């Protein structure tokens, strides 16, 4: 394909085809959203109940279980699919790079929040919601873009809820909205399309 000359119509068809393939793969990967959403919600609730029961701030270290559990589950559940080595489009690569950048920034912020005071739940929910909206816009998937923007606005609630424990519940709710629910919708659509 390198060096091939495309006219305007062929170029647009190629781009549309890449976006359609990414949407299809993303739909089947509603599992990614389901995993990240449930892991975040469950760990958030564990942190909430642990802090509420004991008041011991060391339970905040449990937040680091989100990337550990999330990546482990994703690797375990998706490893079988990866053996098939599907062809990845430029759009797939762009979406993956978007999430690598957001993931690195979130991890950096998580470590920083133990050194200095940050409104960490606001920042992380804002970043992940923005990443979700950006993903939806790039792959032209209105559901994903919409929930990303909803999460972006909801993340502001973390700034206005004065109680940290209540902020944790708001944080969990945001992930339920931006990843768990759309993940199930995507996966359901995928299952119907493969019947």
| Position with higher pLDDT, 49 vs 111 | 49
Cβ atoms of 184 and 41 closer than 8 Å: no
- Of 8-12, 78-82, 147-151, which has the strongest mean pLDDT? 147-151
Domain ranges of the chain: 16-193
pTM above threshold 0.85: no
Nearest residue to 15 via CA among 141, 140, 101: 140
Q: What is the pLDDT of residues 20-41, one digit of tens each?
A: 655 555 545 678 889 999 999 9
SS (H, E, C) 65-94: HHHHHHHHHHHHHHHHHHCCCCCCCHHHHH
- Residue 87 scores a pLDDT above 60: no
């Amino acid at each position: 394909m390198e060096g091939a000359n495309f006219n305007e119509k062929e170029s647009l068809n190629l781009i549309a085809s890449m976006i359609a393939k990414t949407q299809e793969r993303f739909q089947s990967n509603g599992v990614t959203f389901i995993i990240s959403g449930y892991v975040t919600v469950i760990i958030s609730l564990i942190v909430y109940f642990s802090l509420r029961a004991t008041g011991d701030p060391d339970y905040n270290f449990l937040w680091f279980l989100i990337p550990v559990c999330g990546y482990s589950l994703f690797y375990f559940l998706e490893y079988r699919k990866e053996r098939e080595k599907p062809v990845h489009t430029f759009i797939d690569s762009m979406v993956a790079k978007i999430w690598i950048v957001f993931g690195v920034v979130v991890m950096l912020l998580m470590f920083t929040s133990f050194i200095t005071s940050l409104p960490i739940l606001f920042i992380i929910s804002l970043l992940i919601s923005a990443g979700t909206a950006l993903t939806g816009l790039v792959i032209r998937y209105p559901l994903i873009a919409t929930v990303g923007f909803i999460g972006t606005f909801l993340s502001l609630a973390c700034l206005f809820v004065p109680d940290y424990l209540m902020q944790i519940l708001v944080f969990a709710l945001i992930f339920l909205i931006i990843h768990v629910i759309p993940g199930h919708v995507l996966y359901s659509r995928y299952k119907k399309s493969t019947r």
